[in-house]
Amino acid sequence: MNSYRSLSLVVSLSLPLGVGCERLAPPPAHEQHDAAPASAAAEPSAGEPAAAATEPAARPAGELAIEPGELPVTSDRYPAPARLVAVGDLHGDIAATRRALRLAGAIDQGDHWIGGELVVVQTGDQLDRGDDEQAILELLAKVQREAAAAGGAVHLLNGNHEFMNALGDLRYVTPGGFADFEDAPGVDTARPELAKIMAQAPEQARARVAAFWPGQPWAKELAKRNTIVVVGDSVFVHGGVTPTWAGQIETINNESRQWLAGERAEPPAAVVDSDGPVWTRRYSDGPDQADCEQLGQALKIIGVQRMVVGHTVHTEGVVSACDERVWMIDVGMANYYGGPVQVLDIQGEQVAVLSESRAIGEDAG
């Protein structure tokens, strides 16, 4: 894994302005499934929706807008709540994020928690493809604190795009995404390895590289999350859990957090494996492509009934496969894709897809 780490953080100076960094190692094969050309991160092609932009909220100089604190992660497994809602990929769109949380019954119009003992799981990919990333990170952290105080919970997972940013792969960052992190406080650019990378980076990418470098401020915020979480009879993950990784959930979570926090030199294998938990598409490519045999083996090892995944965009809406043992909840709700806002509602054995035009509790069909 050392070679991947060293190559992934080399910055190309030949990229157009507004694109930033590109790792020299080839991306995992599965990444190509939804990958756009590098230039698309800065300028969407004709007919493609442009990324939404939001004015970043003002914050005190020298302070992260997210309050510092101990890692809120206390476990890899949690008991089933009365009501559980899963939210898919957000990709830099704060408006879609708010709409999804309101649809879930989690927040009011003032962005305050109203969910009581509701449990929300967001399956990663808050970053990239849109300009509102910092606003999303701040909102989710605030709502997470308010939920805990009210007896509920918000579990935030890291997807492949969170890890890509920590690896220096910034191909999907928008111009606004670079600008939004130019004033990130607490960055230690004196670290020799980071200083070397920043010296090679295009000027407009340097602040972003520094902010998300393992051990730096925003990477430490990502280190407060799991990669995989089990809640009741459901396992939640960005890409999917194959049998190879199904017995290593605690290790995957611990090693990923340690690496993001700067306490581990190399990224864990699970983060960079093309068939790993944040990259695999074995279960998410659609109802006819899901590997039901592998899914069944993984669920048996984990000891749950269903898996909920994001990662692969289904703008037609949430879909399931393998007799509803896997649910694919990345509906492309971000402006970049133009999909619908939908969330997955789990209450006991009942699973429902909630849309903005459908009421809570309506059968998923």
45 found inside a domain? no
Q: Which residues touch 203 (CB under 8 Å, ≥6 apart)? A: none
Residue 111 domain flag: yes
Q: Which domain holds residue 226?
A: 75-169+214-355
Q: Name the average pLDDT for the chain.
A: 83
13 found inside a domain: no
Contacts 24+ apart (CB under 8 A), 338-341: 338/49, 339/313, 339/314, 339/315, 340/315, 341/96, 341/99, 341/100, 341/103
Residue 279 belongs to domain with CATH number: 3.60.21.10
Alpha-carbon gap, residue 227 to 229, rounded angstroms: 7
Residue 225 has pLDDT above 80, yes or no: yes
pLDDT for the residue 19: 36
- Kindly state whether residue 138 falls inside one of the protein's structural domains: yes
| pLDDT one-digit tens code per residue, 122-178 | 999 999 999 999 999 999 999 999 999 999 999 999 999 999 999 999 999 999 999
Judged against a pLDDT cut of 60, whether residue 63 lies above it is answered with no
Say if residue 12's pLDDT is above 50: no
In a domain, 178, yes or no: no
Q: Is 161 a catalytic residue?
A: yes
Assigned domain for 238 exists: yes
**Domain-located, residue 285:** yes
Cα–Cα separations (whole angstroms), residue 178 to 22, 41, 107, 200, 264? 14, 11, 28, 16, 26
Beta-carbon contacts of 231 under 8 Å, excluding residues fewer than 6 positions away, are 77, 78, 79, 80, 81, 84, 119, 121, 155
Q: SS3 for 222? A: helix
Range in 20-34, 87-101, 279-293 with the lowest mean pLDDT: 20-34
Of residues 336 and 189, more confidently modeled: 336
**Residue 286 vs residues 319, 334, 335, 364: alpha-carbon distances, Å:** 7, 20, 22, 16
- Catalytic option among 91, 155, 161, 311: 161
Burial classification of residue 29, based on how many CB atoms lie within 10 Å of its CB (0-12 exposed, 13-18 middle, 19 or more buried): exposed
How many domains, the chain? 1
Q: How confident is the model at residue 67 (pLDDT cuts 50, 70, 90)?
A: low
> What band does 247 get if pLDDT is binned at 50, 70 and 90?
very high
Cβ neighbour number for residue 10 with a 10 Å cutoff: 16
**Amino acid in the structure at residue 34:** D
Mean pLDDT, rounded, for 281-306: 98
Closest to 277 (Cα-Cα) out of 146, 198, 117, 162: 162
pTM of the full structure: 0.83
In a domain, 28, yes or no: no
pLDDT at residue 61 in the model: 36
